Structure 1
């Protein structure tokens, strides 16, 4: 009887061991997955591209380089090519049961952005390289470069807000003008309530703005945004760009979000 109990318990222990191993392995992603992002920038400004990525807890690989089409990447210190990596900006910012959430930032100069613009690089052309040389999609859903700043008819006064993108940008008119449109990227429209304030009063577009009057663009987030972004949004007047507002967001993610990422982009 005791022998039967012993073998029964042993069988349960062995089965539990293999079941736990199976479950843990089933939770592994294999290759890291970059969280979807939206990026826009100005061709005559430098920028930092920050990508967030999820990897298995014991995966030692880090995101090391970013490539735009067939453009070369470079090791740090070699300025003869594009897109140096700043390893001091690699961070682990959160840990889950089976994965970690990480981020990597890359500085891109204004000259490099201009070269990317000339090559007509699309979001699907952008990839990242892991520390072991493995290349994976950068998972950028929209990549936009605004070619140049035209002569601005609005002078910048101030801006503020939080890292989730809620904030304001305030301008003053340099001349009489008609403001007809805020060119909000379609990927972000449904997530934001945008308010236009003229001399501290809420107004609807189109509006006439007289010289010396102030204009504030207020953005209020409406819900959780499922991707990270760094977006430059131009203000348009009679088809001219007259000023720019910026939206920034640091990505947040849960265990459930990781499961959904693996289902959509994983093995």
Structure 2
């Protein structure tokens, strides 16, 4: 039975060791169909290409410097250079990751440790595009490699910040608990479970009567991608639970930006 989106968010893991068996044709076909029309709420151009390593004709190996073992295929994720391109990439590609999880396939966000020249060549990267992310995709190995085990320990893969340290109610002096979050309890928990670079969870969310305001608490470009992933989890969870609303920029929310933070975007309830 196909997992729901929320079940896929809970089940997703970073997989670094893969079976040498090629991806099943049915799963590959569904992924290729999905990649043709990835919907996201941003005014940015996102392109995700599925590359099978055995079919890549380039002179350079599609490498990840030993981080990934036995991957038979990769996603290469490109975006334009518009204002919210990184956030759009995070949102759109996390949808692909969740779709892969629903198909029983493993993935792993990789933002630095890959041969950018080889991947850029493989996707024929355009002059106005960036290629900040790749991910292996395939069946997980029955036995994780030593590198995989080490990386999981170093990144504390399943560790997450306490709910009340990243979510707040009305102002930054009132921590929010999942029990007191009402219908936002599950969507916020899905944000808490979302993957992020170095598992840093660089976000804080302020809940107000009109909705949820998202702030980035780290300056790196990859952290903008992280915020896109968090927004994806919140938005898709709300959709699945029938909570009406959507993402938009709220200028008034900028005034509430916490110290050393950056306002990103808000999810606003639909008026009854």
Same fold (TM over 0.5): no
Larger Rg: 1
Higher strand proportion (structure 1 or 2): 1
Normalising by structure 1, report the TM-score. 0.23
